[in-house]
C-alpha cells in the first residue's frame, strides 16, 4: 500500500484548539462530587457547593454549556436540578432554555444529573460522554459555568465516587483518593472507567502520559514510542513547552464508526484523539503518526501562547504544514508525497465558493470555511517557508517564526490579539510582506510561477489542478534550498538502511 494513498487525510481532520490561559489560584472556588446516578450507566450525578461567593453566576443565574462548535443542544443533557441556600432551604428557579436557569434567590448548593450518552461522532473528542463502562469527562461542559469577577480561571475541588474497579486518569493534581484539585475547570479532562492501558513516557524533563483504549493494528508500545519520538522532534525544533507533563488520550471510536475517521482536540496540555482503525497495519501506523504530529504540535502552537481571537489560519494552517514538513524530516513520507499534499490543498482552495481573506475565513471557521483555514493556511505556510529559506540562503525557515512567536507571546504573559501579533512578526521579514498582503489580508489567487522562482520546484496549472515537481536541472542555490526542505531525506534513509 503506497504512502501517497493517505496523503490527503490530514486536511480532512476536524481538529479543534481552544486557547485557555492558565493562572493558578490556591483556594478553590467551588466543589463538586461526581458519582454515577443510581441505576444508570451513562448518567452522572453531580453535587456541590459554592465556596467563594465572589464567583459570578453563582448568584441567581445558573448556566451550563449549551453548544460547542459543531455540537448543539448540550443543555438538554442536564436533568433534575436542585438548588438550595446556605441554610439548606430549597431555592425555586425557572428554566429559560435547556441548560439555563434563573433562581429566585442566591443559591449555594446544587445537585443535578447529566446524561452523558454517546454524542454524534463529531462531538466525541470535544464533550463528555460515557459508554460501555468507559468515559471522558470534560469539566467545561459538565459543571455549571461560573466566572470570576476578574475573569480568572475557576478552580475546584473535584471528588469522584465511582465503582471500585474503575480508573480515574487525569493530569490534574491529585489531592486524595478520588480527589483532585483542579486549577482551571475549563481545561480539566478526566478519563474514567475500565480497560484503559497507560504508559508514562519521559522525554528529557517532560513526562508524556499516554492512555489508550480499544484494539488497534499497532501495538501499544509502537504508539507510545511514536508519541515520544514526535514530542522529542518538536522539542528539538521549538524548544520547551510551559507544561511539565502532557497527556495523550487515544480512544477507539465505537465499532459502528467506519474506517478512516478521526476527531481530535488539544485542550491545554491534553491531547484527545478519537479514531477508527485502518484496514492495514502500515496505514494504521502512518495515520497515527499523522494524528500525533498534528495534535502534539498544538501543545506549542497555539496552546503555549498567550494569544486570543480567531487566528486559526495561522495555528491550523501552519500546524498542518509543519506537521507535513516534520513527516519529511522523520522519513515518514517522500518528497513527492509532500508535493502531492500541497497540490491537493491548492485544489481545495481553488474550489471554495466564497473568496474571503484568510483573516475573514478564520472568523467564520465554523460555518463554511473550515477547510479553507487548513488548506489555504497550509499553502501560505509553504510560501513563507520558501521565501525565508530563499532569502536567508537556507539559514531561516518557518520554524524560526514559530520560535520567535513562542518567545514573544509566552502563555505566562497577558493575552493579546493573535492576528495582530502574528502579522506583526511576519511583517518583520521583508520577504513575507507581499505574501501576507496578497494571500492573507487579501484573497488573491496564488501566483505559483512567481512564488516558486529560484526554489527548484516548478508548477503547471490547468483549471483547478496544480502540478508541482522538482526541476530536472537545478542551480546550486536551488539544490541547497530543496535539501533544507527535506528533498533528500528519504533517499538518505534508504542509503543508510542498506
Ligand atoms: Zn489542529
pLDDT tens-place string over residues 266-318: 999 999 999 999 999 999 999 999 999 999 999 999 999 999 999 999 999 99
Q: How far is the CA of 298 from the centre of ligand 1 (A)?
A: 7
| pLDDT digit string, tens, across residues 94-147 | 998 999 999 999 899 999 999 999 998 989 999 999 999 999 999 999 999 988
Q: Which grid cell sits at 249? A: 488520550
CA–CA gap between residue 142 and residue 77 (Å, rounded): 9
Query: Which helix (H) or strand (E) element contains residue 161?
Result: strand 156-161
Q: How far is the CA of 319 from the centre of ligand 1 (A)?
A: 7
**Chain centroid offset of residue 479 CA:** 35
Helix ranges (DSSP H) in 177-308: 220-238, 281-297
Pairing of strands 100-103, 93-97: antiparallel
Burial category of 315 from C-beta neighbours within 10 Å (exposed 0-12, middle 13-18, buried 19 and up)? buried
CA–CA gap between residue 215 and residue 51 (Å, rounded): 43
Across 145-175, b (16+ Cβ under 10 Å) vs e yields bbebeeebbbbbbbbbebeeebebbbbbeee
Instruction: Please check whether residue 37 is in contact with residue 314, taking contact to mean a CB–CB distance below 8 angstroms.
Output: no
Q: How far is the CA of 424 from the centre of ligand 1 (A)?
A: 22
Instruction: Determine the pLDDT at residue 8.
Output: 39
Q: How far is the CA of 324 from the centre of ligand 1 (A)?
A: 13
HSE toward the beta carbon, residue 49, CA cutoff 13 A: 6
Q: How far is the CA of 304 from the centre of ligand 1 (A)?
A: 14
| pLDDT digit string, tens, across residues 45-69 | 999 999 876 676 557 889 999 998 7
Q: How far is the CA of 281 from the centre of ligand 1 (A)?
A: 24
Sequence-ordered list of residues with C-beta below 8 angstroms from that of 347, at least 6 positions apart, any chain: 464, 465, 466
Reference 138, options 180, 176, 170; nearest CA is 170
Instruction: Determine the pLDDT at residue 16.
Output: 56
CA–CA gap between residue 343 and residue 373 (Å, rounded): 16
Q: How far is the CA of 269 from the centre of ligand 1 (A)?
A: 14
**Chain centroid offset of residue 463 CA:** 34
Instruction: Please check whether residue 192 is in contact with residue 158, taking contact to mean a CB–CB distance below 8 angstroms.
Output: no
CA–CA gap between residue 394 and residue 246 (Å, rounded): 33
CA–CA gap between residue 161 and residue 34 (Å, rounded): 6
Q: How far is the CA of 120 from the centre of ligand 1 (A)?
A: 20
Instruction: Determine the pLDDT at residue 21.
Output: 43
Higher per-residue pLDDT: 10 or 234: 234
Q: How far is the CA of 318 from the centre of ligand 1 (A)?
A: 9
Q: How far is the CA of 161 from the centre of ligand 1 (A)?
A: 34
Instruction: Determine the pLDDT at residue 359.
Output: 84
Q: How far is the CA of 361 from the centre of ligand 1 (A)?
A: 15
Q: How far is the CA of 340 from the centre of ligand 1 (A)?
A: 20
Look at residue 22 and tell me whether its pLDDT is greater than 80. Answer: no
Average pLDDT for 183-210: 95
Q: How far is the CA of 205 from the centre of ligand 1 (A)?
A: 25
Query: Which helix (H) or strand (E) element contains residue 11?
Result: none
Q: How far is the CA of 237 from the centre of ligand 1 (A)?
A: 18
> How high is the mean pLDDT of the chain?
90
Instruction: Determine the pLDDT at residue 131.
Output: 96
HSE toward the beta carbon, residue 275, CA cutoff 13 A: 28
Pairing of strands 90-91, 78-84: antiparallel
- Which of 2.60.15.10, 3.40.50.2300, 2.60.40.3650, 1.20.120.1760 is the CATH number of 30-195? 2.60.40.3650
Instruction: Please check whether residue 370 is in contact with residue 14, taking contact to mean a CB–CB distance below 8 angstroms.
Output: yes
Sequence-ordered list of residues with C-beta below 8 angstroms from that of 479, at least 6 positions apart, any chain: 456
Query: Which helix (H) or strand (E) element contains residue 430?
Result: none
Q: How far is the CA of 422 from the centre of ligand 1 (A)?
A: 17
Q: How far is the CA of 489 from the centre of ligand 1 (A)?
A: 26
CA-atom Rg of the chain in angstroms: 24
Average pLDDT for 404-415: 96
Instruction: Determine the pLDDT at residue 364.
Output: 74
CA–CA gap between residue 426 and residue 333 (Å, rounded): 28
Q: Which grid cell sits at 215? A: 484494539
Q: How far is the CA of 18 from the centre of ligand 1 (A)?
A: 10
Higher per-residue pLDDT: 375 or 148: 375
Residue with cell 459508554: 131
Choose the weakest-confidence range: 24-28, 41-45, 455-459, 474-478: 24-28
Q: How far is the CA of 317 from the centre of ligand 1 (A)?
A: 8
Q: How far is the CA of 76 from the centre of ligand 1 (A)?
A: 28
Q: How far is the CA of 452 from the centre of ligand 1 (A)?
A: 27
pLDDT band with cut points at 50, 70 and 90 for residue 6: very low
Average pLDDT for 357-364: 82
Q: How far is the CA of 310 from the centre of ligand 1 (A)?
A: 13
Q: How far is the CA of 293 from the centre of ligand 1 (A)?
A: 10
Look at residue 7 and tell me whether its pLDDT is greater than 60. Answer: no
Look at residue 255 and tell me whether its pLDDT is greater than 80. Answer: yes
pLDDT band with cut points at 50, 70 and 90 for residue 493: low
Q: How far is the CA of 314 from the centre of ligand 1 (A)?
A: 10
Cis peptide before 302 (omega within 30 of 0): yes
- The pTM (predicted TM-score) of the whole model is 0.91
pLDDT band with cut points at 50, 70 and 90 for residue 363: confident
Q: How far is the CA of 315 from the centre of ligand 1 (A)?
A: 7
Instruction: Determine the pLDDT at residue 490.
Output: 65
For the chain, the first-to-last Cα distance in angstroms comes to: 22
Average pLDDT for 156-181: 96
Look at residue 181 and tell me whether its pLDDT is greater than 90. Answer: yes
Choose the weakest-confidence range: 295-304, 327-336, 357-366: 357-366
Q: How far is the CA of 5 from the centre of ligand 1 (A)?
A: 21
- CA–CA–CA angle 291, 294, 297 (5° rounding): 135
Q: How far is the CA of 264 from the centre of ligand 1 (A)?
A: 8
Q: Which grid cell sits at 85? A: 441556600
Q: How far is the CA of 266 from the centre of ligand 1 (A)?
A: 8
The domains of the chain are located at 30-195
CA–CA gap between residue 43 and residue 127 (Å, rounded): 14
| pLDDT digit string, tens, across residues 74-107 | 999 999 999 999 999 999 999 989 999 999 998 9
Pairing of strands 156-161, 179-182: antiparallel
DSSP assignment, residue 409? S
Residue with cell 472556588: 29
Q: How far is the CA of 123 from the centre of ligand 1 (A)?
A: 15
Q: How far is the CA of 160 from the centre of ligand 1 (A)?
A: 31
- Strand ranges of the sheet holding 245-252, from the earlier edge strand across to the other edge: 14-18, 262-267, 270-275, 245-252, 206-212, 197-203
Q: How far is the CA of 46 from the centre of ligand 1 (A)?
A: 32
CA–CA gap between residue 125 and residue 342 (Å, rounded): 27
Amino acid at each position: 500500500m503506497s504512502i501517497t494513498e493517505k496523503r490527503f487525510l490530514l486536511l480532512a481532520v476536524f481538529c479543534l484548539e481552544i486557547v485557555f490561559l492558565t493562572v493558578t489560584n490556591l483556594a478553590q472556588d467551588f466543589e463538586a462530587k461526581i458519582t454515577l446516578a443510581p441505576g444508570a450507566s451513562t448518567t452522572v450525578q453531580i453535587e456541590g457547593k459554592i465556596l467563594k461567593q465572589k464567583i459570578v453566576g453563582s448568584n441567581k443565574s445558573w448556566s451550563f454549556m449549551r453548544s460547542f462548535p459543531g455540537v448543539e443542544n448540550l443543555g438538554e443533557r442536564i436533568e433534575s436540578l436542585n438548588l438550595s441556600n446556605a441554610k439548606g432551604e430549597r431555592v425555586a428557579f425557572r428554566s429559560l432554555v435547556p441548560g439555563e436557569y434563573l433562581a429566585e434567590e442566591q443559591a449555594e448548593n446544587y445537585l443535578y444529573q447529566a446524561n452523558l450518552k454517546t454524542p454524534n461522532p463529531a462531538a466525541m473528542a470535544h464533550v463528555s460522554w460515557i459508554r460501555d463502562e468507559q468515559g471522558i469527562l470534560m469539566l467545561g461542559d459538565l459543571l455549571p459555568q461560573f466566572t470570576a469577577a476578574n475573569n480568572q480561571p475557576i478552580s475546584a475541588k473535584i471528588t469522584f465516587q465511582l465503582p471500585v474497579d474503575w480508573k480515574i486518569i487525569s493530569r490534574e493534581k491529585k489531592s486524595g483518593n478520588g480527589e483532585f484539585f483542579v486549577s482551571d475547570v475549563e481545561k480539566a479532562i478526566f478519563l474514567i472507567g475500565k480497560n484503559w492501558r497507560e504508559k508514562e513516557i519521559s522525554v528529557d524533563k517532560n513526562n508524556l502520559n499516554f492512555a489508550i483504549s480499544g484494539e488497534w493494528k499497532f501495538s501499544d508500545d509502537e504508539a507510545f514510542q511514536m508519541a515520544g519520538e514526535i514530542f522529542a522532534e518538536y522539542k528539538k525544533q521549538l524548544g520547551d513547552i510551559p507544561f511539565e507533563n502532557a497527556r495523550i488520550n487515544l480512544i477507539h471510536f465505537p465499532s459502528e464508526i467506519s474506517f478512516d475517521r478521526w476527531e481530535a482536540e488539544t485542550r491545554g496540555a491534553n491531547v484527545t484523539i478519537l479514531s477508527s482503525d485502518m484496514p492495514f497495519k502500515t496505514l494504521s501506523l502512518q495515520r497515527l503518526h499523522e494524528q500525533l504530529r498534528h495534535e502534539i504540535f498544538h501543545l506549542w502552537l497555539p496552546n503555549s501562547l498567550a494569544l486570543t481571537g480567531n487566528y486559526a489560519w495561522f495555528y491550523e494552517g501552519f500546524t498542518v504544514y509543519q506537521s507535513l514538513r516534520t513527516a519529511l524530516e522523520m522519513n515518514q513520507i517522500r518528497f513527492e508525497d509532500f508535493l502531492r499534499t500541497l497540490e491537493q490543498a491548492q485544489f481545495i482552495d481553488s474550489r471554495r465558493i466564497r473568496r474571503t481573506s484568510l483573516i475573514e475565513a478564520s472568523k467564520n471557521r465554523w460555518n463554511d470555511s473550515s477547510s479553507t483555514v487548513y488548506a489555504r493556511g497550509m499553502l501560505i505556510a509553504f510560501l513563507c517557508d520558501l521565501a525565508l529559506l530563499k532569502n536567508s540562503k537556507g539559514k531561516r525557515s518557518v520554524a524560526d517564526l514559530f520560535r520567535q512567536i513562542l518567545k514573544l507571546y509566552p502563555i505566562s504573559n497577558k493575552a493579546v490579539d493573535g492576528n495582530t501579533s502574528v502579522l506583526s512578526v511576519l511583517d518583520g521579514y521583508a520577504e513575507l510582506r507581499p505574501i501576507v498582503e496578497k494571500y492573507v489580508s487579501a484573497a488573491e489567487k496564488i501566483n505559483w510561477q512567481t512564488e516558486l522562482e529560484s526554489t527548484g520546484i516548478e508548477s503547471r496549472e490547468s483549471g483547478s489542478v496544480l502540478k508541482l515537481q522538482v526541476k530536472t536541472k537545478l542551480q546550486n542555490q536551488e539544490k541547497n534550498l530543496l535539501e533544507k526542505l527535506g528533498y533528500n531525506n528519504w533517499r538518505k534513509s534508504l542509503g543508510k538502511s542498506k
